[in-house]
Amino acid sequence: MKSMAQLASSFVPIIFGSDINAYGITRSFNEAYGLQSVVISKLLLGPCRNTKFISRVITKSDIEEENVFLEVLDSLASDEQYDGRSFVLVPCGDSYSELISKLRNDLSPRFKFNTIDYELHKKLNRKKTFYEICDEHGIPRPETQILNKNNYLTEQLALEFPVIIKPANSILYWQTSFPGKRKVFLARDKSEYDKILNAVYNSTYDDELILQEYITGEDEAEIHAYSNQKGEVQIAQFDRMVLGSPTPDGIGSHTAEIITKNPEISERFTKLLKALKYRGYSNFDLKYDPKRKDWVTFEVNLRPARCSFALSAAGNDVVKFLVEDVLHNRDIEIVPLENDILYTIIPDNLLRKYIHPPLLDEVNQLLDENRVVRHYLPKSDYSIRRVIDHLRNQHAYYGKFRKYFGKSMYTDL
C-alpha cells in the first residue's frame, strides 16, 4: 500500500471553477494530501485568489467549449513537470460536470474522475425528467407545470399565486443575460408573472420554464453524497440550512448550515442513488413542507455542492472519497458524526442578525462551544494578501444582506 506521501506525489488535482466551492475543494486537497491544485476557469474569482492551496491558474473565457476544454487538458497532460502523474478532475460547476460526463471516453484513462454516463446526466440535469424520476421512486417534489417558448402566452396557469418560476435548463439559462434576471423568480400576481415570462423569452433563453407551487416556511436542507465507481453510496450527509445567500444569483445557496443527522432522509436518497446506479458526487436541495409534513426535493447537482467542504468539516475529507476510489480502488472509513457542527462562510454577527429566530439559540450554543468550522482563511492559508481579500469578502456580505435579504426572488422588471 502506498504511503500518503507516495500517493500525493502520484497525482495532480485539477479543479474546474474558482468560486467558494472550488476553494473548499483546494483546501481539502491540501489538508488531506498536502497538495496544491491546478485551477481551470473562465476567470479567476475572489475565493481562489492569493491562496497557498493553488499552484497554477488557467483562465479561458471559452473553456466551456468542448474543443477548448480538451485542448487545455491535453496541454496539461503533455507538460513535462507532470510526467508520470495522473490528473484527478473535480468539476465545481454544472457546465464542467456536463463536459466531463459527455467527454468521458476522450478523457480516460489519463485523467481520473468518477461520473455517470451522459444520458443519465441529461435526465437528472433537466428538471422535467428529474421530477419524473422522483415520481418513479417516490421522492416528494413540488407541484409543477412546464412552459415553453411556443405556449407560454396561451397556456393557462394551473397553480395558485405566489408561483415559483425557474429555468428547466440551468446551464443554458446562465449563458443568457437580461435586466432583472434572477436565478429563481417568485411571481406574486398575474402582472409579475407576465413580466417575468416575457423577459425570459425575449432573451436568448429558449428552453422550457418550470412553474412550481411556493412552499412556505424557512426549513431548508441539503444532502451531500458520494457514490463510488461501483455505484455504492459512501455517504449521504444531511445538513440543515441556517441562512441562505441573499443575492438574486445565489438563491438556494447556503451561507451557513448545521451538519446534523436525519437517517430517514439520508436513507431515502441513498436508495435513490443506488437504484440509479449513480456514480460520483451529488447534492440534493430540500425544503420541509408543512402541508405534506415531509421534505420535498427541488433539484440535484451532479457535482460537489457549493458547501461541499461541510463533508470535510464533519471529519470526512470531501476529496478523499474520490481520490481513494479512482486511484486506490478503495472506500474511506467514514467518521460518524457525534455532535452537530456549524459550518459558515459569513461573519458571526450577520448570522445572528438574519438567522431564522427558532434556530438562534442552537446556533449561539454551537458558536459558544466552538463547534464551528469556517470555510475561509484557515491558519494554513494565512498571508497578508489573503487576509486582506478575506476581510473584503466578509465586509461585502453586509451590503449584500442589507440590499437583498428577503427580496432576492422578487422581480424589478
Model confidence pLDDT, tens digit, residues 221-238: 999 999 999 999 999 999
Q: Give all strands (DSSP E) within 245-335, no chain letters.
A: 254-260, 280-289, 294-301
Name which residue leads in pLDDT, 152 or 407: 152
Cβ(222)–Cβ(305) below 8 Å? yes
Rounded to 5 degrees, what are φ and ψ at 353? -75, -40
Closest CA to 324 of 223, 228, 224: 228
Q: Is the pLDDT of residue 413 over 70?
A: no
- Which 8-state DSSP code applies to residue 190? H
**What pLDDT, in 10s, does the model give residues 106-148?**
999 889 999 999 999 999 998 899 999 999 999 999 999 999 9
Q: Is the pLDDT of residue 258 over 70?
A: yes
User: How much is the mean pLDDT over the chain?
Assistant: 94
pLDDT at position 84: 87
- Half-sphere exposure for 152 (CA within 13 Å, toward CB): 21
Q: Alpha-carbon distance 33 to 122, whole Å?
A: 33
pLDDT at position 8: 57
Tell me if the bond preceding 162 is cis, omega within 30° of 0. yes
Confidence of residue 217 (pLDDT cuts 50, 70, 90): confident
In three-state secondary structure terms, 267 is helix
**What pLDDT, in 10s, does the model give residues 25-51?**
999 999 999 999 999 999 999 999 999
Residue 219: partners with Cβ closer than 8 Å, 6 or more residues away: 240, 287, 288
pLDDT at position 394: 95
Q: Alpha-carbon distance 321 to 326, whole Å?
A: 9
Cβ(359)–Cβ(242) below 8 Å? yes
List the domains of the chain with CATH numbers. 4-123 (3.40.50.20), 143-213 (3.30.1490.20), 220-404 (3.30.470.20)
Q: Is the pLDDT of residue 5 over 60?
A: no
Kindly state the percentage of the chain with pLDDT values over 90. 87
Q: Alpha-carbon distance 26 to 317, whole Å?
A: 11
- In the predicted model, what is the mean pLDDT of residues 201-217? 94
Q: Is the pLDDT of residue 397 over 90?
A: yes
Kindly state the percentage of the chain with pLDDT values over 70. 96
Q: Which H or E run includes 124?
A: helix 118-125
Confidence of residue 207 (pLDDT cuts 50, 70, 90): very high
